[in-house]
A and B are shown apart, each in its own frame.
Chain A
């Protein structure tokens, strides 16, 4: 057997060697750019005018916070995130309950069907729904239905109807994923609990509220955190469906426009820092909220362990990309 230098390492050194490439990559490509973005955000810097580079303090921030455009985008982002996460969970829960009934021969078919929206490229999802919501490229009956709600069946012509279309498309893509998560949770619930509840004469609804929902709570909270963060940084869906028309621009789109299209790196960086702070703030609130469960509250050490465990759950839920 060939003896390489790797074989001379003990467990600890091997461990370090194995961890370092990942850490270096994340430090250089994720952490450093965030600090760099903050530094750039304090400057006037446009790639098109490279000579005009100057330190201007927080002027970019005051400019952004004073513009109605930014606040519109913030509002859009939050409304979209809230609406789509709510719809996704309601829909995902219904799907999970249906799938939990035991699918028999249909299991494989349903599994593939449910994975299709998850695997569909977001751009393709956006295009498909964009055309379904556009009167010239949709089904006749869809056109009729849309005609009841909006003028000339043009869903993507108004702010609220565009928002509805975006939430609908986003829910289509992500609800099945949430359904899979919740289904796994449902299947881990002990059937004896339901039997006991039956004996006690509890109604189906009562069983759902007192057994099903509490058992699903950990899975729900973790998925909720990751879906919310995802929805807050939403970019691709709106980019293709509306391209920001009718006040449907999200903060990520706005920052992208300023940075990559207008090449105003200074102003764009300031926006991206604000987006970062926004997402961080929401994540922080969630973790506080997640950690603040009654069981953990009586013992601080236990609480941190519980939080760690929650965090450990978290990434599995964030996998969907």
Chain B
């Protein structure tokens, strides 16, 4: 499609008149020259630089001992990275984030995936109402539940535990997981189930042996999206944690301050920021196609 499209939208055919008897173009005017510049290339370069600039700046800040304003510093150092990996708060946060995001993703996939299958393919009573309430949860402002949840967690002993963080994370990722995966399940051909039933499979077996393997790409894509969403989550992490027992990366990074509160260790924090971005960058690079298809799935389909 992009080839056909660019032939139509591109500068070349449009810069020539479509009228057949038009004389051959004489020397181009100034504006024609301006229009024929490689704008797409310029646009793409600007776009890429704009997207990666803040990240490059973080890398630069993390390696510059002199804190100068030059584009490239005179000397480089890796001492901030060494310091990050010697910092107990940071290492604990890294571990907590992996545990919280990892388990939240697994649980959300199990609960959300089965719900999505039921809502996508099985005759569940009141399906439209269920879908509507799922939609409502996705619109919830997180702030409206943290007070009561804070109280509940304190009385249940879940305050400042990883489980106390996993539960709300799972809940608020469920709408996304359910909507995405139910769409995916719905699109699988109906004949597959019939074939499975003909072979004597029970509904559960049809799900586990036939549909689930076929839907694996969809499940995997939504797992990536859920993992990234929970890795990013900030408000719950700030409200339901107090110590290194459960603090995740966003909360720890935001509270990383120097001994002297006047002097913020910019180099150290930026080194930490770069480190926590690495798992996400790796995921983005490896799964770029899947992520893009997952992000745009709901937006275009009728």
Residues of A within 8 A of B (CB): 1, 4, 6-12, 14-19, 21-23, 25-26, 29-34, 36-37, 40, 94-95, 98-103, 106, 108-125, 127-129, 131-132, 136-140, 142-143, 172, 176-177, 180-181, 183-185, 187-188, 191, 194-195, 198-199, 201, 204, 219, 222-223, 229, 232-233, 235-236, 239-240, 251-252, 255-256, 259-260, 265, 268-269, 271-273, 275-276, 279-280, 283, 308-309, 311-321
B118 pairs with A14, CB closer than 8 A: yes
The contact string, 1 if C-beta is below 8 Å from chain A, for chain B 287-302, is 0110110111111111
Whether the Cβ atoms of A279 and B135 lie closer than 8 Å is no
Please tell me which stretch of B22-30, B80-88, B270-278 contacts chain A, meaning at least 4 of its Cβ atoms lie within 8 angstroms of it: B270-278
Chain A residues closer than 8 Å to B301, beta-carbon distance? 312-313, 316
Residues of B in contact with A (beta carbons under 8 Å apart): 1-6, 8-10, 13-14, 18, 40, 43-44, 47-48, 50-52, 54-55, 57-58, 61, 67, 69-71, 111-112, 114-115, 117-119, 122-125, 128, 130-135, 137-152, 167-168, 170-176, 178-180, 183, 202-205, 207, 225, 228-229, 231-235, 238-239, 249-250, 253-254, 266, 269-270, 273, 276-277, 280-281, 283-285, 288-289, 291-292, 294-302
Are B225's CB and A252's CB within 8 A? Answer: no
Determine if A235 and B235 form an interchain contact, defined as CB atoms under 8 angstroms apart.
yes
Instruction: Please report the C-alpha to C-alpha distance between residue A4 and residue B206 in the assembled complex, in whole angstroms.
Output: 14
User: Are B14 and A198 neighbours in the complex by a CB distance under 8 Å?
Assistant: yes
Cβ–Cβ < 8 Å partners of A15 in chain B: 118, 122-124
Residue of A nearest to B175 (CB): A315
Determine whether the beta carbon of B40 is less than 8 Å from that of A101: yes
The 9 closest A-B pairs by CB, nearest first: A316-B298, A321-B229, A15-B122, A140-B69, A18-B118, A36-B148, A315-B179, A102-B6, A22-B115
Residue of A37, A115, A172, A308 touching B292 (CB-CB under 8 A): A115
Q: How far is the CA of A311 from the CA of B18 in the complex (A)?
A: 43
Given A120-B277, A256-B238, A317-B299, A33 and B145 touching (CB < 8 A)?
A: yes
Does more than half of chain B's interface fall in helix, strand or loop, or is it mixed? helix
Residues in chain A near residue B285, CB distance under 8 A: 112
Residues of B within 8 A of A1 (CB): 205
Q: How many A-B residue pairs have CB under 8 A?
A: 378
Give which listed residue, B140, B239, B296, contacts A256 with CB less than 8 A.
Answer: B239
Candidates A16, A129, A283; contact of B54 at CB < 8 Å: A129
Chain A at the B interface: mostly helix, strand, loop or mixed? Answer: helix
Q: Specify the chain B residue showing the minimal Cβ separation from A264.
A: B147
Evaluate whether A26 and B133 lie within 8 angstroms (CB atoms) in the complex, with A37-B148, A317-B299, A319-B176 already known.
yes
Q: In the complex, which residue of chain A has the Cβ closest to the Cβ of B56? A: A128
Per a CB cutoff under 8 Å, which of A6, A12, A109, A137 touches B61? A137
Closest to A134 in B: B266
Q: Which residues of A contact B202 (CB under 8 A)?
A: 6-9
Known: A98-B43, A113-B48, A139-B69. A181 touches B148 (CB 8 A): no
Q: With A121-B232, A137-B67, A255-B143 given, is the CB distance from A16 to B124 under 8 Å? A: yes
Residues of chain A lying within 8 A (CB to CB) of residue B250: 121-123, 236
Contacts of A99 in B (CB 8 A): 44, 47
Interface centre among B133, B175, B203, B253 (most CB of A within 10 A): B203
Q: With A32-B148, A235-B143, A317-B298 given, is the CB distance from A12 to B124 under 8 Å?
A: yes
Least Cβ distance of A42 to chain B in Å?
13
CB distance from B162 to the nearest CB of A (A): 16
Q: 9 new A-B pairs (CB below 8 Å) besides A136-B67, A236-B250?
A: A1-B205, A6-B204, A19-B130, A36-B152, A112-B285, A117-B51, A239-B254, A252-B235, A315-B179
Give the interface centre of B119, B131, B141, B280 by most chain A CB atoms within 10 Å.
B141
Set of chain B residues within 8 Å of A204, measured between Cβ atoms:
14
Contact call A127/B270, Cβ cutoff below 8 A: yes
With A7-B205, A121-B276, A319-B176 known as contacts, the answer to whether A19 contacts B298 (CB < 8 A) is no
Of the candidates B8, B288, B289, the one whose C-beta lies within 8 Å of that of A195 is B8
Q: How many whole Å from A293's CB to the nearest CB in chain B?
A: 14
Known contacts being A127-B270, A180-B292, A233-B142, is A98 close to B299, with CB within 8 Å? Answer: no
Q: Are B225 and A319 in touch, CB under 8 angstroms? A: yes
What is the bound-complex CA distance between A309 and B135, given in angstroms?
12
Name which of B3, B14, B131, B296 has the most chain A CB atoms within 10 A of its CB: B296
Among A7, A116, A183, A320, contact of B51 (Cβ-Cβ < 8 Å) = A116
Chain A residues whose CB sits within 8 angstroms of the CB of B300 once the complex forms: 181, 184-185, 188, 219, 313
